[in-house]
Amino acid sequence: MAAPTLDRATDTLLDYIALGLLVAGPKHGYALYQDFAEMFAPVWQAGRSKFYATLAGLHDAGALDVELEPQENRPPRKVYRLTGQGQAAFEAWLREPVPQPRDVRVLIPVKLRFYETLDWPGAHGLLDAQIEVCRERLAFEAHRPESPEARDDDFFFDILYEFRRRQLMAMIDWLRTCKDRFARLAPPDSTPEKGKDRA
């Protein structure tokens, strides 16, 4: 069975960050933006207008509900709430390893941040799966089919593929370190418990 997705042309990391920020309960747009800036500024930045546009897009996609909350002497503000579709899409994304190693440095810290702040099980399973993805890519790079342009003494291809192999080895080592550090926060686990109260 395929994991649920947002089915949006603009399906990006910012979408899932916005969804994850609403797991704990409904919030208005400015409070969500403040949470976003505080929690994720070191790895992902977006202006307030882009963040609000993301919330609007998620609402259009059926991932969020919106209610207008009256304010004294001010226009009503929008309060956002996760729908079942939005919750399912976020949980599926959170559990999935990152397919492209080049995206690991941004996506894995964001996912681990959510596992930590939401106090959800599943981080160890994600990290194990990510290590396996990187191992498979490393095995491919170690036995890469010869490029038609490459020669045995080709300096360019030699240093390029050596960089990729070393980068993957360093990534695997870093992922193992993440596992060790996460084990101090919570015992090893597998997947989020269905029906767990996440409020």
pLDDT score recorded for residue 189: 57
Position 197 in a domain: no
Same domain as 42, residue 107: no
Same domain as 131, residue 61: no
For residue 133, the enclosing domain spans 98-190
Residues of the chain with pLDDT under 70: 1-5, 7-11, 145-153, 186-199
pLDDT score recorded for residue 44: 85
pLDDT score recorded for residue 70: 82
- Take residue 159 and report the two structure tokens written for it: 């240093």
Position 83 in a domain: yes
pLDDT in tens, 126-171: 999 999 999 999 998 887 766 555 556 678 878 888 899 999 999 9
Position 198 in a domain: no
pLDDT score recorded for residue 73: 80
Same domain as 102, residue 90: no
Same domain as 107, residue 91: no
Same domain as 89, residue 43: yes
Position 196 in a domain: no
pLDDT score recorded for residue 41: 87
Position 69 in a domain: yes
Same domain as 116, residue 80: no
**Do the Cβ atoms of 77 and 144 come closer than 8 Å?**
no
Of 96, 125, 147, which closes a domain? 96
CATH of residue 3 = 1.10.10.10
Could you tell me how many residues make up the chain? 199
Position 136 in a domain: yes
Same domain as 102, residue 60: no
Of 34, 61, 96, which closes a domain? 96
Same domain as 10, residue 50: yes
pLDDT score recorded for residue 198: 40
- Count the domains in the chain: 2
